[in-house]
Amino acid sequence: MIKKEKMTKQRFIHFYRKLSMVRQFEEKVDELFRQGKIAGTVHTSVGQEAVAVGAGEALEEKDLVVATHRGHGHCLMRGAGLKPMMAELLGKGTGLCKGKGGSMHIVDVRRGMLGAMGIVGAGLPISVGVGWAIKRQKTGQVCACFFGDNASNGGPFHEALNVSALWKLPIVFICENNLYGLSVSVNKTSAVQDIAVRATGYGIPGVIADGMDVFAVHDVVKKAVDRARGGAGPSLVECKTYRFLGHSRGDPSYGPYRTKEEWESWKKRDPLILLRKRGNLTPEEVGKIEQEVSAELSEAVLFAEQSPNPEIGDVLDDIFA
């Protein structure tokens, strides 16, 4: 019997703060990229925050996360500091990865964020290893492995689910189905539209959750986490969600491959709006939270901007242990 958390005001505020943190962080990142302060590319999760937050809240502090290339939110949820995260995105020496990883490879191992993964699907086999080690080491940890809809079409997905089901590993596979793999609709990439259905192929539970509802995500993931921790093996959770910005910066929110209508209909179900309604949060409460988050974020940006670049001599460090 799963104990349901009392939906107190504090709880709503707690969750809203998390959502706001991810939202503002991502919007700030987008802005910095447009200003040319972040190089390369960024994949923001504006619109998908509820998945990272909901799932993140269902995990314990000791648990581990393997994420996708769209991993800022997951990293934040593991408790990574804003300042070192921002500094990493700006490529500075004070960044989480000393400026060597960047957005797609943001890692905070001490806090259990084993990494955003630059290669689609790469996290799946790696999470198998993590799960195996947890089981072997009997630490009672759980590994949450996030991946996208299109990753579920690749070989590693199949290998990972098969093996982890076979060995009953403590993994929760969480598919963030935002309906598009870059510019291609999931209609054109997946033989089945509900990714969760694939779980039956491995004899594990497959559950769909409303990815815009942070509590819905939380509850479904919590169940899977408990199952894993209990030793019954992995589950597949599919969160139906939507990204409000393009695939990466430079990609418009709608137009080339998404219609404005579709975008607007999902926009109405913005996780932050949903939560505000559900929790009856007053504008003052919202304003206060958002302002606090904004202030923290500004500090982090300032820190990052003022931080120095890595030393040239550091380029050869950390190749080998």
Applying CB under 8 A, the residues found at the interface with other proteins are 66, 95-102, 105, 107-110, 114-115, 118-119, 122, 124-134, 136-137, 143, 155-156, 159-160, 162-163, 166, 317-321
Name the token pair of 312. 């040239």
Give me the least distance between CB of 268 and other proteins, in Å please.
Answer: 38
- Beta carbon nearer to other proteins, 99 or 205: 99
Give me the least distance between CB of 125 and other proteins, in Å please.
Answer: 2
- Beta carbon nearer to other proteins, 167 or 263: 167
| Amino acid of residue 37 | K
- Beta carbon nearer to other proteins, 39 or 273: 39
Give me the least distance between CB of 183 and other proteins, in Å please.
Answer: 22
Dihedral sign, CA of 146, 150, 156, 157?
positive
Give me the least distance between CB of 321 and other proteins, in Å please.
Answer: 4
- Beta carbon nearer to other proteins, 204 or 245: 204
Name the token pair of 249. 């910066």
Task: Find, among 149, 165, 37, 176, the residue nearest to 103 by Cα.
Answer: 37
Give me the least distance between CB of 168 and other proteins, in Å please.
Answer: 13
- Beta carbon nearer to other proteins, 88 or 213: 88
Token pair 């020496």 is found at: 93
- Beta carbon nearer to other proteins, 102 or 206: 102
Q: What is the distance between the alpha carbons of residues 23 and 284, in angstroms, rounded to a whole number? A: 18
Q: What is the distance between the alpha carbons of residues 131 and 31, in angstroms, rounded to a whole number? A: 37
Give me the least distance between CB of 37 and other proteins, in Å please.
Answer: 20
Instruction: Give the relative orientation of helices 82-89 and 283-306 as an angle to the nearest 10 degrees.
Output: 50
Q: What is the distance between the alpha carbons of residues 90 and 63, in angstroms, rounded to a whole number? A: 28
Name the token pair of 281. 């949060």
255, 265 in Cβ contact below 8 A? no
Q: What is the distance between the alpha carbons of residues 192 and 96, in angstroms, rounded to a whole number? A: 38
- Beta carbon nearer to other proteins, 65 or 293: 65
Give me the least distance between CB of 266 and other proteins, in Å please.
Answer: 32
Give me the least distance between CB of 203 and other proteins, in Å please.
Answer: 14
- Beta carbon nearer to other proteins, 11 or 105: 105
Q: How many CB atoms lie within 10 A of CB 261?
A: 9
Give me the least distance between CB of 235 and other proteins, in Å please.
Answer: 18
Which SS3 state, helix, strand or coil, does residue 79 take? coil
Report in angstroms the alpha-carbon separations of 84 from 72, 151, 211, 214, 304: 12, 29, 28, 26, 7
Instruction: Give the relative orientation of helices 271-279 and 214-229 as an angle to the nearest 10 degrees.
Output: 90
- Beta carbon nearer to other proteins, 101 or 211: 101
Q: What is the distance between the alpha carbons of residues 150 and 152, in angstroms, rounded to a whole number? A: 5
